Amino acid sequence: MARIDLNSDLGESFGAWTIGDDAGVLERVTSANVACGFHAGDPAGILRTCGLASARGVVIGAHPGYRDLAGFGRRFIDCDPDDLCAEIVYQIGALQALAGAAGASVRYVKPHGALYHAIIAHEGQAGAVVRAVETIDPSFPIVVPPSSAIGRIARDRGIRTVVEAFADRGYRSDGTLVPRSDPRAVLTPDAAIAQAVGLATTGLAVSVDGIEVEVSPETICVHGDTPAAVRLAGGIRAELELAGVEIAEFVGGTAAPATRDAAPAQGSAVGGRG
């Protein structure tokens, strides 16, 4: 039986400013990537989100980012790896304390935004993230894109990586995402649901060029920053269940991605059947 985790970025409000319907999303996902205060998230709001997640049994992960409230962590910052490592340790530790205050605990790490994208290729920053996780708890899995520096470095150090796919983003035939500047970057709701089901049952996405791409995700990211996004998350969950996919957290489970035997080739194009 196929099995998949659904994750979403949460706790990203800040003071008087709110983003996202955390309570609504938490009804639909199994893993909550909770902001840690550097790109978003004030402590009281983070604590509330942790409390909501804990009450629903949703697993909490740390979602650290660059120190950039004005840019919401979406802008690359060329920071020194040692500084970055300490900043990530700081953020995870802060979230651990707030999760603890909510009766829960942090169980994995997913880097945010521009940091997530940078460490696909930036060896120095990728290494910094891995060292930070090692320092906090080497048993924490890291959620990573397929075929990334962060994934390779983490696995080399014995840290579990969890490959992530995106339901509503178009893939290129090399397994990378279509950039947001391209009109094909974001899929329609129907296409996103179909892609999610395909990813969860076969491990494959069909690229915008019609090529089958092996992603083999253990988790699929769904968004919750708009009412439409929350509805889409619900639709994805419903169709996955109809397709017989078990929706369960990747943490603590016995990971069984659809095509785990292909793991070394993650993200590579494996065919042209489209």
Quick check: helix, strand or coil at residue 35? strand
Biggest CA–CA distance in the chain, Å, is 51
DSSP label at residue 177: B
Say whether residue 90 binds a copy of itself (CB under 8 A): yes
Residue 228 or 238: the one with the smaller Cβ distance to a copy of itself is: 228
Say whether residue 33 binds a copy of itself (CB under 8 A): no
Please state the closest distance from residue 40 (CB atom) to a copy of itself, in A.
8
Say whether residue 70 binds a copy of itself (CB under 8 A): yes
Encoded one letter per residue, x for contact with a copy of itself by CB under 8 A and - for no contact, window 205-244 reads ----------------------------------------
Say whether residue 51 binds a copy of itself (CB under 8 A): no
Residues 6+ apart with CB under 8 A from 62: 33, 34, 36, 91, 92, 95, 96, 106, 108, 109, 110
Please state the closest distance from residue 10 (CB atom) to a copy of itself, in A.
14
By CB under 8 A, which span of 3-11, 66-74, 203-211, 244-252 interacts with a copy of itself? 66-74
Quick check: helix, strand or coil at residue 137? coil
- In 104-174, where does DSSP find H-type helix? 113-118, 123-136, 149-156
Please state the closest distance from residue 266 (CB atom) to a copy of itself, in A.
26
Please state the closest distance from residue 132 (CB atom) to a copy of itself, in A.
8
Please state the closest distance from residue 44 (CB atom) to a copy of itself, in A.
4
Q: Which amino acid is at 11?
A: G
Residues 129-148 that bind a copy of itself (CB under 8 A): 135-136
Say whether residue 68 binds a copy of itself (CB under 8 A): yes
Tell me the C-alpha distance between 147 and 150, whole Å.
Answer: 9
Q: Which of 59, 94, 130, 133 binds a copy of itself (CB under 8 A)?
A: 94
Residue 8 or 219: the one with the smaller Cβ distance to a copy of itself is: 8
Residues 161-200 that bind a copy of itself (CB under 8 A): none
Residue 44 or 243: the one with the smaller Cβ distance to a copy of itself is: 44
Encoded one letter per residue, x for contact with a copy of itself by CB under 8 A and - for no contact, window 95-134 reads xxxx-xx------------x--------------------
Q: Are 12 and 41 in contact (CB under 8 A)?
A: yes
Reference 161, options 138, 132, 136; nearest CA is 138
Q: Cα 268 to the chain's mean position, in Å?
A: 20
Tell me the C-alpha distance between 94 and 62, whole Å.
Answer: 10
Q: Are 42 and 89 in contact (CB under 8 A)?
A: no
Q: Cα 52 to the chain's mean position, in Å?
A: 19
Residue 56 or 90: the one with the smaller Cβ distance to a copy of itself is: 90
Reference 261, options 270, 251, 252, 274; nearest CA is 270
Residue with tokens 């999610």: 196
Contact residues: a copy of itself, CB under 8 A: 13-19, 37, 40, 42-44, 46-47, 67-72, 74-80, 82-83, 85-87, 89-98, 100-101, 114, 135-136
